[in-house]
């Protein structure tokens, strides 16, 4: 007995810690290792969030977030009912998607993976000290980089970012934001604890810091629905901005299958519909495809369409009716499923 | 999951259990430490292993078991704290130093440790030894990996197979 006779679980534990290059070399070492790499799909990108699985939508008022996705009968069904993951909340509170990053959701202090139906509850955050003491309004920002998961055990972090409403008239001359040193609480799934992290120490980094701050929201795929804003956007103007109405003939049916669900189910496209899309009416931006030049739009009649900038094609994704009348959409999160189970398992045990 | 505290008694004395290695050596150890093993945890929760009984471990020899228990005793306090949210940075650094030192061992010992951690399902030790082996593999070619881990030399047939598979992920050798 020796290292060439290790049980498969053990080999998996070793190989899953390797970076891709090293893993590819290890695959050559012997038949058993090769079988493990292939069976556990360690080198493949199947589990990574490389397709859009649906869109989570927060609705104003006491209703849980809803999930817009193509109905799927396959074995890999994504559970869009986020209320299944969280402890019942006192009425009228409802689970609300606070953040979404590469397949993980932040829901009411839980990190949730709807694809693997796993979740983990965040421990309570210790009190904030230092310059930011006294701020009571925070936004929790979830950060998860699954590409890093190849070289090290996957982990995610939650940043507790102070939320500041600035009244320009009340700002004192010479006051600075963020304060220096800026110490915020960061939760890491690697350590399973909150720890203080100094963000910006140098004064001259301050400007960058503020930019970074505002970018975090877009990292979280958080897209404010225009309907939520005071001004309604007329699609006619959007169309001219993006060149949507260049040529009527170009608005053909999509041949290409938009990666929407794992069933590879083809979408109905507009040629299948009796009615033409009415581009003259009010539409709102529902979200952006994370890595393709595609914008998701919500039409006046609750239809959701994907518009492909490269091909100038429109594809119908389905209908999104807010379940309760009179509720408005607050936020929409384009969701890319992450299928690997390792991430949340370890911690749930703990 | 907190370490089992049942049977601690109320007088503060920690509950002890006895583990018996494959070569019949008896080890008396705190239940909290032995419970780092998922395999032993249930038996211990059921009240087993106390007194003259002892839990036999036919797959683990005494040298390996003593090494495993060294790890468990060191890590038990942190584990009992539920991942030790109260642990200081000093405590954590000390555990890390201990871990690094702990796996700085002969390969035959490492192999026994891997198998024991696997059989006893000691999660922390499983990751520690897996990480150690992964570190030994890093940056090496397939043949170097085989030599490092003491694999027998490949047969001509295996060698041909290895050469063929090297072509599949050519970028890994650039």
Residue range B35-51, pLDDT digits in tens: 999 999 988 888 777 76
- Of the candidate ranges A186-195, A295-304, B59-68, the one whose mean pLDDT is the lowest: A295-304
Same domain, B97 and B168: no
Q: Which domain holds residue B96?
A: 16-138
Give CA–CA dist B47/B45, Å, rounded.
5
Q: Does B162 touch chain A (CB under 8 A)?
A: yes
Query: Which tokens go with A170?
Result: 């009340």
Same domain, B83 and B120: yes
Same domain, B114 and B131: yes
**Residue A57 confidence (pLDDT) above 70:** yes
pTM: 0.48
Same domain, B127 and B155: no
Give domain status of residue A49, yes or no: no
Same domain, A23 and A65: no
Which residue of A lies nearest to B163 if distances are taken between CA atoms? A28
Q: Does A25 touch chain B (CB under 8 A)?
A: yes
A14: exposed, middle or buried (Cβ count in 10 Å: 0-12, 13-18, 19+):
buried
Give domain status of residue B119, yes or no: yes
Same domain, B166 and B95: no
Most confident listed range (A60-69, A167-176, A275-284): A60-69
Q: What is the mean pLDDT of residues A293-311?
A: 83
Q: Which domain holds residue A210?
A: 54-225+335-349
Q: Which segments within B73-162 are labelled E, that is strand? A: none
Same domain, B159 and B100: no
Which residue of B lies nearest to A14 if distances are taken between CA atoms? B130
Same domain, B172 and B153: yes
Q: Does A298 touch chain B (CB under 8 A)?
A: no
Give domain status of residue A298, yes or no: yes
Same domain, B80 and B24: yes
Which residue of A lies nearest to B85 if distances are taken between CA atoms? A193
Which residue of B lies nearest to A5 if distances are taken between CA atoms? B151
Give CA–CA dist B65/A29, Å, rounded.
30
Same domain, A251 and A143: no
> Taking a C-beta distance cutoff of 8 angstroms, is the pair B116, B60 a contact?
yes
Same domain, A120 and A183: yes
Q: What is the mean pLDDT of chain B?
A: 86
Give domain status of residue B54, yes or no: yes
A166: pLDDT confidence band, cut at 50, 70 and 90?
low
Same domain, A60 and A178: yes
Give domain status of residue A15, yes or no: yes
Same domain, A343 and A198: yes
Same domain, B37 and B121: yes
Stretches in chain B below the pLDDT threshold 70: 1-12, 51-52, 81-87
Same domain, A107 and A129: yes
- Report how many domains make up chain B: 2
Give domain status of residue B60, yes or no: yes
Give CA–CA dist A81/A94, Å, rounded.
12
For residue A5, the chain B residues in CB contact (below 8 A) are: none
Give domain status of residue A48, yes or no: no
For residue A27, the chain B residues in CB contact (below 8 A) are: 165, 168-169
Q: Does B124 touch chain A (CB under 8 A)?
A: no
Give domain status of residue A253, yes or no: yes
Same domain, A115 and A32: no
For residue B158, the chain A residues in CB contact (below 8 A) are: 30-31
A72: pLDDT confidence band, cut at 50, 70 and 90?
low
Same domain, B30 and B85: yes
Same domain, A78 and A145: yes
For residue A42, the chain B residues in CB contact (below 8 A) are: none
Q: What is the mean pLDDT of residues A289-317?
A: 82
Q: Does A5 touch chain B (CB under 8 A)?
A: no
- Whichever domain contains B24, its CATH number is 3.30.710.10
Same domain, A207 and A232: no
Give domain status of residue A47, yes or no: no
Share of chain A above pLDDT 90, in %: 9
- Report how many domains make up chain A: 3
Same domain, B116 and B161: no
Give domain status of residue B10, yes or no: no
Same domain, A204 and A287: no
pLDDT at position A151 = 41
ipTM above 0.95, yes or no: no
Same domain, A136 and A280: no
Interchain proximity B151–A28, CB inside 8 Å: no
**DSSP for residue B79:** H
Q: Which residue has the higher pLDDT, A27 or A232?
A: A27
Same domain, A91 and A149: yes
Same domain, B93 and B162: no
Give CA–CA dist A197/B97, Å, rounded.
23
A251: pLDDT confidence band, cut at 50, 70 and 90?
very low
Give CA–CA dist A229/B12, Å, rounded.
63
């Amino acid at each position: 007995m020796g290292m060439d006779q290790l049980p498969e679980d053990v080999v998996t534990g070793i190989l899953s810690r390797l970076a891709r290059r090293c893993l590819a070399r290890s695959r050559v070492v012997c038949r058993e290792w090769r079988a493990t790499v292939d069976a556990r799909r360690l080198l493949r990108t199947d589990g990574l969030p490389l397709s859009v699985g649906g869109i989570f939508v927060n609705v104003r008022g006491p209703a849980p977030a809803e999930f817009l996705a193509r109905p799927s009968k396959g074995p890999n069904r994504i559970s869009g009912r986020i209320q299944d993951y969280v402890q019942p909340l006192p009425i009228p509170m409802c689970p609300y998607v606070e953040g979404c990053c590469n397949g993980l959701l932040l829901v009411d202090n839980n990190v949730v993976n709807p694809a693997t139906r796993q979740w983990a509850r965040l421990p309570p955050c210790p009190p904030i000290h230092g310059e930011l003491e006294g701020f009571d309004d925070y936004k929790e920002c979830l950060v998860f980089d699954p590409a890093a998961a190849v070289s090290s055990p996957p982990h995610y972090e939650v940043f507790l970012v102070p939320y500041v409403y600035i009244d320009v008239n009340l700002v004192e001359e010479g006051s600075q934001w963020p304060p220096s040193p800026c110490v915020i609480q960061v939760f890491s799934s690697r350590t399973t604890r909150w720890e203080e992290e100094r963000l910006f120490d140098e004064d001259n980094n301050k400007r960058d810091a503020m930019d970074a701050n505002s970018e975090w929201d877009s990292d979280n795929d958080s897209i404010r629905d225009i309907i939520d804003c005071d001004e309604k956007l007329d699609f006619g103007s959007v169309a001219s901005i993006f060149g949507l109405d260049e040529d009527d003939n170009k608005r053909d049916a999509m041949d290409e299958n938009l990666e929407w669900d794992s069933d590879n189910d083809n979408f109905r496209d507009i040629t299948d519909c009796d009615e033409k899309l009415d581009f003259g009416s009010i539409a709102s931006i529902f979200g952006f495809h994370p890595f393709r030049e595609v914008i998701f739009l919500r039409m006046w009649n609750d239809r959701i369409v994907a518009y492909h900038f490269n091909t100038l094609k429109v594809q119908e994704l389905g209908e999104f009716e807010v379940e309760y009348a009179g509720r408005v959409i607050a936020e929409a999160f384009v969701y890319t499923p992450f299928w690997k189970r390792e991430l949340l398992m370890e911690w749930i045990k703990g | 999951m907190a370490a089992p505290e049942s049977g601690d008694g109320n007088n503060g004395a920690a509950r002890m259990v006895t583990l018996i290695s494959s070569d019949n050596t008896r080890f008396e150890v705190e239940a909290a430490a032995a419970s780092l093993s998922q395999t032993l945890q249930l038996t211990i929760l059921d009240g087993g292993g106390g007194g003259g009984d002892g839990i036999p471990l036919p797959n683990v020899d005494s040298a390996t078991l003593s090494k495993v228990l060294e790890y468990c005793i060191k890590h038990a306090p942190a584990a009992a704290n539920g991942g030790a949210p109260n642990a200081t940075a000093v405590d954590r650094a000390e555990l890390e130093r201990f871990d690094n030192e702990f796996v700085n061992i002969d390969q035959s010992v490492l192999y026994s440790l891997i198998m024991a951690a696997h059989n006893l399902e000691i999660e922390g030790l499983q990751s520690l030894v897996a990480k150690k082996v992964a570190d030994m593999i890093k940056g090496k070619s397939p043949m170097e990996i085989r030599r490092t881990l003491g694999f027998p030399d490949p047969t001509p047939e295996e060698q041909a197979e290895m050469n063929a598979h090297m072509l599949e992920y050519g970028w890994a050798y650039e």
